[in-house]
Amino acid sequence: MCTHSKEKISVRLSVFLAFTAIFVYSPVWASEASGVILRADTLRSEGKFQESLTELSRAFQRSETDAERGVVLGKQAEILAFDLHDYSRARGLVTQSLQQLDAGVVSEVIALKVRAQCEMQGDKDFGAGKKTLLAALKLPEVQWAKPSIRVMLGDCYRSLGEPVEALRSFEEVAQEDSVDGLLRATAFLNCGLTYFYDLKQPGKSKKFFAEAVRLNPLLAEEVRTHLDGVPSRSKTMFLAHYMPWYASPPRSKDWGWHWTMNHFDPKKQKHGRREIASQFYPIIGPYDSGDPAVIEYHLLLMKLAGIDGVVVDWYGRADCHDYKKLHENVVLLVKMVEKFQMKFLICYEDQSINALVEQKVIPPASRVFQAANELKWLTKNWFQRDSYVRLKRQPVLLSFGHSGLNDEEWQHVLSRSESPILWLSEHAPRPGACGAFDWPIPEQGLTQVRWFSQASKQWQCSIPVIFPRFVDVYQQAGVQPGYKNIADNNGETFRLSVDEAGRAHGQIVQIATWNDWGEGTQIEPSKEFGYRDLEWLQSLREGQVDKQFQTNKASLRLPYRLLLLRRAGRGDDAALDQIAEQMSVGKVKEAQQMLESVERDH
């Protein structure tokens, strides 16, 4: 069953929460700035956030009073916090707004709402957000702003595990006839979600869902998704399995094992290509997984192809082999995933526990303790994030293979968890698992995908897999006998795996892989296949992503141009960051114009 996602509610609310405060008061202004502010509001409603910020900067220059200046600063902060998710800059503008000596209550309310948004979504500190919103409600003459504040407050209460208080906030807005109809619809919807998921009373939720749809028919599909328990194709989340294990100079001292496999020498070049442990070659050449410019390139490509996020290979945090460095790479990756408003989940390589014992990092008796401690860290640091993938309102954890912890050890590990974790094992559910995720089996090819799509219908949760091919380099590298190939068949393998995986009706589809060059399963652009796999994914996802998100085949070439500029040191960081931001929100025409400007001037 597809559970409620707070991000969707927050995004849907942003329009209401952002505009309610100021529209009530704009008509009393008669200054030159008021016309500019109205133009800025129009641009924002059209999704032209940068243009709106520019207009507001003009309005600030023409403002005649502290009240006007305070409101303009607040409106700029709103766009940064609610629309662009730039919480650092939003906080700075909030501070400036509150420093206006005679700013007035309108400015203060806007500032406090933006501060709460930064605390809730930027810091994930819903306790602080609650405190800020309660302070806003205590301000004098704020009756006009109370509905939007209370809806935000209700979201805080839900995140804090206080569903009764959340209902109280939502119902106060829903039952007030004078409140804007769309905002009331959102309040009714949130009442229904609170009953459905938090209070486990689906019967009571239906009347609230019905009223939400009556007030705003556009909510009908979302309500059906919750009640039917089967996500529509447009709601299916596509996640690419991501390997964070590549090392290359100059960022790293030496070439890492996954480029060499102790056999190939990337220092050697022939026809412009380094010798690497792969049958294929990245368009950008072999790279370092700790390079922020490379991670940016990867994530922007994914967004433009319609991929929602990543499944990250994670070996824990112990100082053994390269595990500590891999963890640092994943920390950086997660930071950038959140910057681009994407999703992630962890695939724990619990075979690392065996290596820790073999290398005498831990004694054999500490296997369960070590794994439980890693899950405790994950729970504290990543599982609580809005960017982390959940099913049934629980964080999803995958474990790769069966050679690490045994079934009994896994059950002991999970029993020590301080909060529920939805564990999925590979291929089929192990004891204690809620379901399974699939992975390519070279000897079985698409037959395994078909089996999984049928078998998984009996499980609580499942994540089918899609893949383009499997052509490893292990035998050539002398690592082990190579696996049987799964041929690419000119892209037909990828298309057929998608068709078979679709029969599993999973809420999540895993792409294996983004960048396992050693096994040749990558969909990252290569010299051999170019952008073919991403272009096909993009066409598959067409019409299933935000209509304002501009995508086409040509747009997939833009991240590489941005990477080339960063590698060459051309253009200042601020300008290149803005180009990346434009791409990440689907404004490819604007990004292309800005790229051409930097390429021309440098």
pLDDT tens per residue across span 162-181: 889 999 999 999 999 889 88
Closest CA relative to residue 166, chosen from 213, 133, 142, 117: 133
Query: CA 278 to CA 280: how far, in whole Å?
Result: 5
Token reading at 320: 């053994």
Query: CA 135 to CA 394: how far, in whole Å?
Result: 31
Span(s) in the chain for CATH 3.20.20.80: 234-545
Rounded to the nearest 5°, which phi and psi values hold at 530?
60, -135
Closest CA relative to residue 287, chosen from 321, 250, 261, 313: 250
Give the tens place of pLDDT for each residue, 491-545: 999 999 988 887 777 789 999 999 999 999 999 999 999 999 999 999 888 755 5
Q: What is the percent of the chain where pLDDT is above 90?
A: 67
Please give the CATH topology (third level) of the domain spanning 6-230. 1.25.40
Per-residue confidence (pLDDT) for residue 225, from 0 to 100: 64
Closest CA relative to residue 566, chosen from 600, 595, 542, 524: 595
Domain range 234-545, CATH class: alpha beta
Helix (H, G, I), strand (E, B) or coil at 2: coil
- Surface-to-core class of residue 156, CB atoms within 10 Å of its CB (0-12 exposed, 13-18 middle, 19+ buried): buried
Query: CA 372 to CA 375: how far, in whole Å?
Result: 5
Mean pLDDT of 396-425: 95
* Cis status, amide bond into 250, omega within 30 of 0: yes
Q: Where are the alpha helices (DSSP H) in 426-542?
A: 446-455, 474-477, 492-502, 532-541
Give the tens place of pLDDT for each residue, 358-383: 999 999 999 999 999 999 999 999 99
Helix (H, G, I), strand (E, B) or coil at 466: strand
Distance of CA 95 to the CA centre of its chain: 29
For residue 366, CA distances in Å to 316, 321, 322, 405, 424 come to 15, 19, 21, 12, 23
Instruction: Look at 546 and 343; give whichever has higher pLDDT.
Output: 343
Q: Are 63 and 100 in contact (CB under 8 A)?
A: no
Span(s) in the chain for CATH 1.25.40.10: 6-230
Give the tens place of pLDDT for each residue, 78-134: 999 888 878 899 999 999 988 887 878 888 999 999 999 999 877 768 889 999 999
Q: What number of CA atoms fall less than 13 Å from residue 367's CA on the CB side?
A: 20
Helix (H, G, I), strand (E, B) or coil at 350: coil
Q: For the chain, give the mean pLDDT.
A: 88
Cross-strand pairs, 398:
347, 424
Per-residue confidence (pLDDT) for residue 455, from 0 to 100: 85
Residue 467: pLDDT over 80: yes
Per-residue confidence (pLDDT) for residue 32, from 0 to 100: 62
Q: Could you please report the per-residue DSSP string of 237-299?
A: EEEEEE------TTTSSS--HHHHTTT--TT-EETTEE--SSSS-BTT-S--TT-HHHHHHHH
